[in-house]
Structure 1
Amino acid sequence: MPLLQPPPYKPKFPLQSGHIQTIFPRLFRKVSLPPVVKRRIETPDGDFLDIDWHLASSTRLAVIAHGLEGNSRRPYVLGMARALVLAGWDCITYNFRGCSHEMNKKSGMYHSGDTRDLHTVLKYGLDHGIYEDAALIGFSMGGNHVLKYLGEDPEKVPSKVKRAIGISVPCDLEKSAMRLCDKSNFIYSNYFLRSLRQKVKIKNNQFPDLYPLDKLSSIKNIVDFDNAYTAPINGFADAIDYYRQSSCKQFLSKIKIPSLILNAEDDPFLTPECYPVQEAEGSQFISLQIPKYGGHVGFADIPIEKQLWSESRAVRFLNT
């Protein structure tokens, strides 16, 4: 599909900065949306996933995937769920392994290329037999999950999945990881690493051979972490091999349902390689829109309590 024109979205000062867009909503946006149903579901490999089910008495289901070191109760996830419930969608938001209140039982945690749990949650919702249509929405790493899932094995995707949206997607994981290592992004890098280090310590109690603590002292950035833990635990040669196998960009041409990618021009996590212009132009199913503003999973405005531009855009795309 042709590259979509940038939208007229222009936030008020000071939200015309990518860094402020990225940080401001995380600090000051509050979204109250208690889940109607909280459930723990079993995975095919004998582990568990914690999900929140937000109900609108609908025959349409949206599954929402959060980003790196997020969870189902983050404001950006709840804001999207609230917008969709008000627009007539049931929503399931789920926690990646290791991101709920209890550490998972199996040795592995989530990673950028593992789409098995997304499929498990989607099938769990659809197997209830009440939904005629479904949609997938992913933020950042969750967006990579969604797009990779749709393209890596299109025949596996349930036929009820009609549309998908990826927001702030690092379509080229290698380039995005290198960008996170920049000095300008040290706040985000330190935030992620602090959380990941704590999880390694917990997993060390379960699997000391797989999660040795002596590696932690040498980790300075996300690439170091993926070299030390993510890659070897999940069968990759190293971090670069992990990024190249897990990036959704190589799978976009195989996607067979209408899918929208929203990547802001001022996103501090993304490099030019993360904006799949050629892939969108060569596909009849992929639409890429690049707003001038929005940061990484931002798209806010003042007052901060209002519905985000990305939430309104998602509703328009799913309901059209």
Structure 2
Amino acid sequence: MPIIDSTFKPPFYFRKAFVATVYSGLIRKVQIKQSRERMELADGDFIDLDWSYADQKSDKVIILLSGLEGHAQRPYLTGAAKLFNQNGIDALSVNFRGNSGEPNRKYYAYHSGATDDLHTIVMHAIKDKNYTEVYLKGISLGGNMALKYLGERDDLPSEVKGCIAVSVPCSLEHSSKQLHSFLNKPFHDRFRDSLIESLKVKQAKFPDKLSLEEIKTIKTLHDFDEVYTSRAHGFKNALDYYRKSSCLQFLPHVKVPSLIINALNDSFLTPECFPVKDAKNNPNLYLEMPQYGGHVGFIQRGGVYYNEKRALEFVKEINKN
């Protein structure tokens, strides 16, 4: 499809990517009532799902996927959940393995391309909860996961109608390098420190799989993916993980309407993360590239973020067609 001309214009003081990103991640608050369901998995692990509902019974649900080290109470998920609930659509906010406040049971956890768990969640919504229309909305890592899921499966359930992916690192290899730049050091270090603290908990539970000495060698996010992510999830190394898990290679095969919203001033992204060619060649892909927005910082007046408003508009457009 043609590239979408974005109408997003934030307040002047949120045009700087750093300000928009930090405000959205650390300061924004959204109040919403959620109820938790623990879904037991076939491998003996679990995932905690946080539900919020429309006022009237709905056969539509949007599944919300967080970014790295995110969880279902992050405002970029609760903001979307609240808006969709107000418009007659239930919301299922996913806590990836180990991200619900309780460590998961297995040594492995989640990663950018871990779509088997996503499929299990989708089928749970369809088979166990009887939703006839399922939409996906992924933020950052979650956006990559959602698009990879849509493009890699030949058996995608017919109930999955569409997807919105926001601030997506479509090429994990290039986005990882960008995240290690001096410009992104505050974000890089925050992610790294959080991941290392979680890894120490795992090491205490699985000392035969990882030593404290190995954890001490982790100085960067790439190191973390080299020492833990790749090894725990069956990849040769970090680069193998990045290349096999990036959604970019799967975009030509996406068969349901999917909107990607990536800001041109997102400091986490590189040119490889703006799939203009794929959007032009695949009639199911829509690419919107606002000038502003930073990383998940699409702030506009009124409390509802631009990417949330666009997600709802996109779902309504799908229903018209």
Matched, 1:111 2:111: yes
| Cα distance in 2 between the residues matched to 1:183 and 1:219 | 18
Matched, 1:273 2:272: yes
Residue by residue over 1:201-232, the C-alpha shift from the partner in whole angstroms, topping out at 9 and shown as x without a partner, is 11012211223221222222111111111111
The gaps in structure 1 that reach 5 residues or longer are: none
Task: Give yes or no for contact 2:164–2:311 (8 Å, CA) kept in 1.
Answer: yes
Q: Which of 314, 317, 320 is the aligned partner of 2:314?
A: 317
- Paired letter, 1:190: D
Residue by residue over 1:92-123, the C-alpha shift from the partner in whole angstroms, topping out at 9 and shown as x without a partner, is 00101111111011110111111111111111
| Cα distance in 2 between the residues matched to 1:58 and 1:234 | 36
| Cα distance in 1 between the residues matched to 2:33 and 2:140 | 23
| Cα distance in 2 between the residues matched to 1:144 and 1:129 | 25
Matched, 1:43 2:30: no
| Cα distance in 2 between the residues matched to 1:250 and 1:238 | 19
Matched, 1:4 2:1: no
Task: Give yes or no for contact 1:154–1:255 (8 Å, CA) kept in 2.
Answer: no
Matched, 1:225 2:224: yes
Task: Give yes or no for contact 1:154–1:254 (8 Å, CA) kept in 2.
Answer: no
- Paired letter, 1:292: Q
The residue that corresponds to 1:170 in the other structure is 169
| Cα distance in 2 between the residues matched to 1:100 and 1:20 | 27
Residue by residue over 1:222-256, the C-alpha shift from the partner in whole angstroms, topping out at 9 and shown as x without a partner, is 11111111111112111111100000000011111
Local SS of the residue matching 2:68: coil
- Paired letter, 1:279: D
Task: Give yes or no for contact 2:11–2:299 (8 Å, CA) kept in 1.
Answer: no
Matched pairs, number: 315
The residue that corresponds to 1:54 in the other structure is 52
| Cα distance in 2 between the residues matched to 1:212 and 1:129 | 42
Pairwise mapping of residues 89-104 of structure 1 onto structure 2 (< 5 A)? 89-104=89-104
| Cα distance in 2 between the residues matched to 1:19 and 1:306 | 19
- Computed over aligned residues only, the root mean square deviation of the Cα atoms, in angstroms, reads 1.1
Matched, 1:204 2:203: yes
| Cα distance in 2 between the residues matched to 1:129 and 1:69 | 27
| Cα distance in 2 between the residues matched to 1:170 and 1:289 | 14
The residue that corresponds to 2:144 in the other structure is 144
- Paired letter, 1:50: D
Between stretches 287-296 and 10-19, larger displacement belongs to 10-19
- Paired letter, 2:97: R
| Cα distance in 2 between the residues matched to 1:133 and 1:153 | 18
The residue that corresponds to 2:192 in the other structure is 193
Matched, 1:306 2:299: no
Residue by residue over 1:119-174, the C-alpha shift from the partner in whole angstroms, topping out at 9 and shown as x without a partner, is 1111111113532211011000000110000111132x211011111100000000
| Cα distance in 1 between the residues matched to 2:181 and 2:59 | 45
| Cα distance in 2 between the residues matched to 1:88 and 1:120 | 24
Between stretches 177-186 and 23-32, larger displacement belongs to 23-32
Local SS of the residue matching 2:287: strand
What is the CA-CA distance between 1:299 and the residue it aligns to? 0.1
Local SS of the residue matching 2:128: coil
| Cα distance in 2 between the residues matched to 1:54 and 1:31 | 13
Percent identity over the alignment is: 43
The residue that corresponds to 1:258 in the other structure is 257
- Paired letter, 1:273: E
What is the CA-CA distance between 1:316 and the residue it aligns to? 0.2
| Cα distance in 2 between the residues matched to 1:235 and 1:27 | 33
The residue that corresponds to 1:123 in the other structure is 123
Residue by residue over 1:9-48, the C-alpha shift from the partner in whole angstroms, topping out at 9 and shown as x without a partner, is 111121001111111122221100011x311011121110
Local SS of the residue matching 1:301: coil
The residue that corresponds to 2:153 in the other structure is 153
The residue that corresponds to 1:238 in the other structure is 237
| Cα distance in 2 between the residues matched to 1:134 and 1:309 | 21
- Paired letter, 1:196: L
Local SS of the residue matching 1:281: helix
- TM-score, scaled to structure 2: 0.96
| Cα distance in 1 between the residues matched to 2:127 and 2:189 | 40
